[in-house]
Amino acid sequence: MVGPMQSQTTLTDPQALGRNRARASAMAEPALFLQLDVVDEVQERLDLVNRSFTSPTIVTGWPQIWSNLLPNAHITADQETLDLTPGAHDLVIHAMSLHWADDPVGQLIQCKRALKPDGLFLCALFGGQTLSELRAVLAEAEVAITGGLSPRVAPMAEIRDLGALLQRAGFALPVADTYTRIVTYSDAWHLMHDLRAMGENNALATRIRHFSRPSILKKAVDLYQSGFGLADGRIPARFEMIYLTGWAPDDSQPKPLRPGSATARLADALGVDETSLTGPGNKSGD
C-alpha cells in the first residue's frame, strides 16, 4: 500500500493478484482463517452499532467468504474504479483489500461517495507490522547472496497514516484501531506455503518474474529460525489487522464544542482542587 502523501504509482499487478486468489480458492485446504476472523470481528462491530442496514455493499476480492455476512449486501470487486452508485448505500465494508490498492485515498473517497448521509464505512486490512519477520530475513538473505534487493512483500501502511487517510477522504468521526495476531509455524517453508494458500503471496507489479534462487530461500529459512525461533522450535509470524471506521457527514452527528465554550469547571465535576500551573516559582510556558 502506498503512503498517504505519495503520488499514485503502480503497486499491484491485478492479473497476478487474481491468479493468486483463484489458486488459493481452488486448494483443497485454503488458509483463509484470517479472513474468517475478520468476518467475525466485523459482525461484532456491526452488532455494537445497533442499526439495521437496508442497502449495504461489500468491496472484496473474496466474495465467497464475505457474501454470507449480510445476505442482502451488494458485492463489488476491489478494482481501481469501484462499481458503486453515489449515495446508494447506508453501509460500505471494504474487506481485506485496501493493502493492495494503488490509490487507497481514491478507494476511500469512492466509498464515502457511495454512502447516504450518516452512512457507515468499515474497512479491514493488513497493517505495516504484518510479516515483519519474513520481510527482514528475505531482505538479509538476498543482500547476502546477490548484493541486491528485489520487491517481495507489499509495503503496508501504518495505523497513524491510515487514520489521516480517513480524514483526507472526508469521513466524519474517523477511528483507526489495530490488533496483532501471532501465528506459529513449524518453519518458514510452512509460512510461505500458507501465504500462497491465503492468496497473499507476491503480486507486486515490480516483482521478479522468475523463481527465486533456492539458496536465497534456504538462507532466509535458516535466518528466520535462528533469529526468531521459539523455545519449542516453531517460528512466529506477525499479522497486524487494522480497522478503519468513519461516517458520511450528516447534521445529526455530534459536533465538537467551540474552545472556551464550557460552562462548568472540570475540577468541580471531578470533585478535586484546582492547582495553578503558573503559581509561585512557575512561569507560564514552563
Q: What CATH number did the domain enclosing 62 receive?
A: 3.40.50.150
What percent of the chain has pLDDT above 70? 83
Domain contains 106: yes
Q: Where are the alpha helices (DSSP H) in 11-119?
A: 14-26, 33-49, 63-66, 104-114
Round to whole Å and give the CA distance between 127 and 145: 29
Given this model, what pLDDT does residue 200 score? 92
- Counting the structural domains of the chain, the total is 1
Domain extent, residue 169, equals: 14-250
Domain contains 158: yes
Taking the CA atoms of residue 206, residue 209, residue 211 and residue 216 in that order, the dihedral angle to the nearest 10 degrees is -30
Domain contains 7: no
Q: Please give the C-alpha separations between residue 198 and each of 24, 138, 147, 168, in angstroms, as whole numbers.
A: 6, 19, 30, 31
Low-confidence ranges of the chain (pLDDT < 70): 1-8, 148-154, 209-211, 256-267, 269-286
Given this model, what pLDDT does residue 286 score? 45
Sheet harboring 172-185: ordered strands across?
74-76, 56-60, 89-95, 115-126, 235-247, 172-185
